[in-house]
Chains A and B, each alone.
Chain A
Amino acid sequence: MIALGILALWEMGVRVGAIDALHFPPPTTIARTVGRLLAGGQLQDHILATLIRVAWGVGIGGTLGLGLGLAMGRSRRWRAALDPVVGALHPLPKIAILPLIMVLFGIGDLTLVVVIAAGSFFPMVINTAAGVAQINPIHFDIARIHRATKMRVMRRVVLPGAAPSVLAGLRLALNTALLITVAVEMVAARRGLGAMIWMSWITLRTEEIYVALLATVVFGLAVNLALSLLARYALPWQREETT
């Protein structure tokens, strides 16, 4: 309701000349631009490009993060070895290392995916390790007493026990990945939502910037919604929040 109100005010503001139409095109113009870009296929093209990069990046970085996180959670040696490395590299802005990665992997999608993977890795490894560490030790005791093998302990205790944290980590990883993707696309890509934002800006097609921003927001919403549904399916034992 509030959103509609704001949109209405915005529209009117432009019509009467109070709001600068160049930098803040009216919602009706933006809507028409969405239609145009959808009809021409450009919007789908950009969204798909971003989607593929995010999927690959989170797929690689997330899987790596999950694996190492499980190792770190279960083994003191792994933790001792990797904790300082993770801690040191984590604060490094992944967007800033783009030029460096480009030297190694050249210009193109591979470089972008590497950077996105790096960004997805850290939330996953940190959350997974924490998730494993918070499992009540009594569960491992019980599993041992019932003569569970290492495989069984992993499948029946570690993974479900860490699952809530892992899913939280996945959510962070996906959101971080989206952020990084759009940012590096602005600098180093010709297709994708970030690229769309950049090109619209330099050609002063402001309404297209808004379309790109809108698409990014919708993308993010869809991802988070999907994760909420996944959580409900994968974590049936989580109690309902009573507010």
Chain B
Amino acid sequence: MITNVEAKARPRPTGIQIDGVAKTFSGRRGTVAALVDIQLRVEPGEFVCLVGPSGCGKSTLLRIIAGLVEPTRGSVRFDRNESQPRVAMVPQDHGLFPWMTLVDNVAFGLEADGVGKNQRRQSAKGLLDQLGLGEFATAYPHELSGGMQQRGAIARALLSDPRVLLMDEPFSALDAQSKLALQDELQRLWGELGQTVVYVTHDIEEAVMLGDRVLVMSGRPGHIDQEVTVLLPRPRDLSDRSDPEVKAKAWSIWKSIEGQVRQNLHIPS
């Protein structure tokens, strides 16, 4: 079990209610409707994946949930009506501060809580130890491999004890083998901690392997096309990749977005 040195009751995961969210960007080339009419309910503790071709707005939606972007219409509400729930994000390129050591990066999440420096570092070091990264605590991010940087970013997100974990293609920049290992680890960690997770990816198999539900988005303007429930029992295993249900679901999702992907690449039909 991953514990926090502070003896605070762990906040339970929160559900998310997304009502009629739309986002339009006005830029140099006129207005772009990035998202239209997103209606979505994420249950507490659920692992939801957003898949879709480039430009379908999935990252924009994630950023709206994170509170980084204001929706043009509609609202994002968290259960228990808090306007600022504890949310943490793991971005695509780890986002670790290059000027801080790994342990200080991981401890960053606790700074806003007014936790003292030594205590923060202790907590962070504890978490790093549990993840097997303890000996790299005083290393700088550029001294770590891509996969370890990403694990560091996940540690930072986890240490702040979020009720909702938002992940924006966290493994897409890694080599395929590291990716598999990290997917496995993420699943194991989530199994122990149980946060609500919204996971954006363009890897369809990854989405089916990790999620309880896969929401397939397509773009221009971005909207949710279909919803696929994954009934694969947990805990899941990398060997489940060859499960016929997984393959069938992944294939059908691919078929539904294939056209748009080809269109984006200007491949003639």
Contacts and interface: CB of A to CB of B under 8 A. Distances in A.
A146 B108 contact: yes
B74 interface: no
Contacts of B66: 141, 145
B97 A139 contact: yes
B97 A145 contact: no
A151 to B, nearest CB: 11
B236 interface: no
B86 to A, nearest CB: 9
A142 B98 contact: no
Contacts of A235: 99
A197 B66 CA distance: 64
Interface residues of B, number: 24
A9 to B, nearest CB: 47
Interface stretch (B88-96, B187-195, B200-208): B88-96
A234 to B, nearest CB: 10
Contacts of A237: 98-100, 140-142
Residue from A136, A147, A149 having most chain B Cβ neighbours under 10 A: A147
Interface string B91-124: 1010101111000000011011000000000000
Contact of B109 (A139, A146, A236): A146
Given A138-B91, A239-B142, A146 B97 contact: no
A138 B87 CA distance: 15
Given A138-B95, A156-B111, A145 B68 contact: yes
Contacts of A161: 97, 99
A132 to B, nearest CB: 14
B111 A146 contact: yes
B149 interface: no
Contacts of B95: 136, 138-139, 141-142
A41 to B, nearest CB: 45
Contacts of A77: none
A144 interface: yes
B177 interface: no
A147 B97 contact: no
Interface size on A, as a range, is: 20 to 34
Interface string B41-68: 0000000000000000000000100111
Contacts of A147: 84, 112
Interface in B21-56: none
Nearest to A147: B112
Contacts of B98: 237
B99 A146 contact: no
Interface string B136-153: 000011110000000000
B167 to A, nearest CB: 12
Contacts of A160: 97, 99-100
Contacts of B68: 141, 144-145
Nearest to B66: A145
B112 A148 contact: yes
B162 to A, nearest CB: 9
A232 interface: no
Nearest to B89: A145
B148 to A, nearest CB: 16
A157 interface: yes
A163 interface: yes
A229 B109 CA distance: 32
A152 interface: yes
A150 to B, nearest CB: 12
Nearest to A143: B108
B91 A156 contact: no
B14 interface: no
Given A146-B108, A156-B100, 10 more contacts: A136-B95, A139-B95, A141-B63, A141-B95, A146-B109, A147-B112, A152-B112, A160-B97, A161-B97, A163-B99
Interface of B: 63, 66-68, 84, 87-89, 91, 93, 95, 97-100, 108-109, 111-112, 140-143, 160
Interface of A: 136, 138-139, 141-142, 144-149, 152, 156-157, 160-161, 163, 235-237, 239
27 contacts: A136-B93, A136-B95, A138-B91, A138-B93, A141-B63, A141-B66, A141-B68, A141-B91, A141-B95, A142-B108, A144-B67, A145-B66, A145-B67, A145-B89, A146-B88, A146-B112, A146-B160, A148-B111, A149-B112, A160-B97, A160-B99, A161-B97, A235-B99, A236-B140, A237-B98, A237-B142, A239-B142
Give me the 10 closest cross-chain CB pairs, A-B, nearest first: A160-B99, A147-B112, A138-B95, A237-B140, A237-B99, A142-B95, A146-B109, A138-B91, A145-B89, A239-B142
